[in-house]
Amino acid sequence: MNRRFFYEPSVKELIDSFSTAFNVKITFYSPSFEEWLVGFSTQSSDYCTFLQNKLKLRGKCFEQDRTMCKACEKKKEILVYTCHTGLSEAVIPITIDGELMFYAMLGQFRTTAIPSAKILALWEKTGENREVLEKAFLAQPYYTPSKKEGMLNLFKKTLSILLEKNLVKMTSSSLVEGVIDYVERNIDKPITLTEVATYIGKSSSAITHAVKKKTGFSFKELVIFKKISAFERILSSDHQLSIIEASSMVGYYDSLYFSRLYKKYRHIPPSKYLEQKS
């Protein structure tokens, strides 16, 4: 249960080659939805950038990716879906010895000739030129049903080979690393010492003592610092998000409470942090 995963350098080379051949981007996400490995980035991403910026979709896209990852984990199989921008994506849960190690996501590609009527209507409401969006949409790779099936089958086979050849590995981690791993996996939820103790298989007192000895923090403080750090990473990666949106992504749905908590531990309000990063 308390284990970490690693990959050989050849894994990145293989993923980059796949991305280049099919003009898609492959990303491996940890169970806590942090980018673990990012493949070669294609040059046809203007479409998503336009929509995420103009229609403020970045937060919704992030939440949809998280939801789809959880859904594929529950189904234990690949999940292909249409994102908010009308493009297709696929995600596969990768497990070793029954334990979820990471999510492998592939995207984005189109299966239609033009954007949906809903997307076009929303775009035109912003006053932007429709042709600009259509041109960006057409720059995305197009796949017929048969070609899509072939690409996804090869994607699944590639991932299977990585596991069979032991190119993706796991190693034992310490008790505290196991605690941190659990917190990071569930960063978007309230986290209690009791549930972590149950997951780890150790007593609450053993976890409390180990965390304090290793980090100098109490268990509660560790969770708070991890959530605050995740909040800051989210805002740093997307300046379009509001404090309310970013704090909800780390499990704080009362933005006023979170602001007080943030100021207590960072000595500045979150609005000041956002201002510094903008």
* pLDDT, tens digit, 9 for 90 and up, residues 240-253: 889 999 999 999 99
Give the pLDDT mean for 191-213: 92
pLDDT of 2 over the 60 cut: no
Q: Indicate if 174-277 has the same CATH topology as 3-170.
A: no
* pLDDT, tens digit, 9 for 90 and up, residues 105-134: 998 899 999 888 889 999 999 898 899 899
CA dihedral 183, 185, 188, 191 (to 10 degrees): -30
Helices 270-277 and 255-266 cross at an angle (nearest 10°) of 80
> What pLDDT score was predicted for residue 275?
85
- Name 263's Cβ contacts closer than 8 Å, sequence gap at least 6: 269, 270
The topology (CATH level 3) of 174-277 is Arc Repressor Mutant, subunit A (1.10.10)
- Report domain extents, the chain: 3-170, 174-277
How many Cβ atoms are within 10 Å of 74's Cβ, its own excluded?
A: 10
pLDDT band, very low/low/confident/very high, at 177 (cuts 50, 70, 90) = confident
Q: How far apart are CA 162 and CA 9, in angstroms?
A: 12
Q: How far apart are CA 148 and CA 151, in angstroms?
A: 5
Nearest to 150 by CA among 55, 18, 4, 277: 18
CATH class held by domain 3-170: alpha beta
What are φ and ψ of residue 269, in 5° steps? -70, 155
What share of the chain in percent tops pLDDT 90? Answer: 51
Q: Is the dihedral of CA 84, 90, 96, 102 positive or negative?
A: negative
* pLDDT, tens digit, 9 for 90 and up, residues 48-73: 888 888 888 777 888 888 899 999 99
Q: For the whole model, what pTM was predicted?
A: 0.67
Q: How far apart are CA 94 and CA 259, in angstroms?
A: 36
pLDDT band, very low/low/confident/very high, at 152 (cuts 50, 70, 90) = very high
> What pLDDT score was predicted for residue 41?
66
What share of the chain in percent tops pLDDT 70? Answer: 95
